[in-house]
């Protein structure tokens, strides 16, 4: 509100006020990605864990016409990209490391060497061996495709379930060990794994496979209730 004076007849002065239009604050953190991407959600969970306010910009990497402006930020056309002021960074692992270092809040990387090594190991297992069977095969064909009116491929589901077992077994052993995925210290390993298991467990076969790995299932019963995980649930296209 701005004040200004008006001189009236007789030399009197009157103070008037004018309402100023609201100023929209520009968020300096933007996450550009695809709503249903597990990698987009990984970055969102990290942002929520650090308490960072951010805006989102939807980019579908499966479309043939990915915007040129986005390709300037990510030359490979994948998602997500985090923009912080004039700084752009892509690759989810790099984004999460940046979020943890750039913003205040509880650290998402342990300082102890063994735990730090296990965080990196979980992230690598998930990316190298887990993403395809858990998400692209089991979840996509059993849950996502039917949700948009497409038919899933039973062979893909069966192959994904078979390939998921050594992944679940390795993660179960690490959860049992207790340095990470322990239900106490929420780290970048938890951020990375949670969206994958969230999708996988939506398939009945995935939920059943998870339950046969007790330490990992116990971790998930804790992680799925965490605020950062529930607040970033993208749902399904026609929820």
Closest CA to 215 of 186, 188, 191, 179: 179
Average pLDDT over residues 207-217: 98
Of 74, 108, 142, the domain-final residue: 108
* CATH code for the domain of 161: 1.20.1050.10
Closest CA to 222 of 190, 178, 200, 199: 190
pLDDT 10s digits, 100-147: 999 999 999 999 999 999 999 999 999 999 999 999 999 999 999 999
- Distance separating alpha carbons of residues 17 and 5, to the nearest angstrom: 9
pLDDT 10s digits, 143-176: 999 999 999 999 999 999 999 999 999 999 999 9
> Same domain for 82 and 132?
no
What domain range is 100 assigned to? 1-108
Q: Is residue 144 part of a domain?
A: yes
Q: Is residue 237 part of a domain?
A: no
> Same domain for 133 and 221?
yes
- Is the pLDDT confidence value at 46 over 70? yes
> Same domain for 101 and 118?
no
Q: Is residue 2 part of a domain?
A: yes
Q: Is residue 239 part of a domain?
A: no
- Distance separating alpha carbons of residues 232 and 35, to the nearest angstrom: 9
What is the reported pTM? 0.88
Please report the pLDDT score of residue 185 as a whole number: 96
> Same domain for 76 and 176?
no
Confidence of residue 76 (pLDDT cuts 50, 70, 90): very high
Q: Is residue 164 part of a domain?
A: yes
């Amino acid at each position: 509100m701005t004040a200004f004076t008006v001189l009236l007849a007789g030399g009197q002065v009157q103070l008037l006020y004018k309402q100023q239009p609201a100023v929209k604050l520009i968020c300096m953190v933007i996450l550009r990605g695809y709503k249903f991407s597990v990698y987009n959600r990984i970055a969102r969970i990290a942002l929520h864990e650090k308490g960072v306010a951010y805006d989102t910009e939807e980019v579908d990497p499966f479309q043939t016409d990915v915007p040129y402006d986005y390709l300037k930020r990510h030359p490979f056309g994948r998602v997500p990209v985090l923009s912080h002021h004039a700084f752009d960074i892509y690759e989810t692992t790099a984004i999460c490391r940046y979020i943890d270092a750039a913003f205040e809040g509880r650290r998402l990387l342990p300082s102890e060497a063994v735990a730090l090594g296990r965080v990196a190991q979980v992230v690598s297992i998930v990316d190298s061996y887990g993403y395809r069977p858990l998400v692209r095969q089991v979840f996509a064909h059993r849950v996502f495709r039917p949700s948009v009116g497409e038919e899933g491929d039973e062979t893909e589901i069966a192959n994904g379930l078979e390939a998921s077992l050594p992944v679940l077994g390795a993660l179960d052993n690490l959860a049992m060990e207790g340095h990470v995925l322990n239900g106490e210290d929420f780290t970048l390993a938890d951020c990375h794994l949670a969206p994958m298991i969230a999708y996988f467990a939506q398939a009945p076969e995935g939920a059943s496979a998870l339950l046969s790995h007790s330490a990992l299932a116990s971790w998930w019963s804790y992680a799925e209730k965490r605020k950062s995980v529930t607040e970033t649930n993208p749902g399904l296209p026609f929820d």
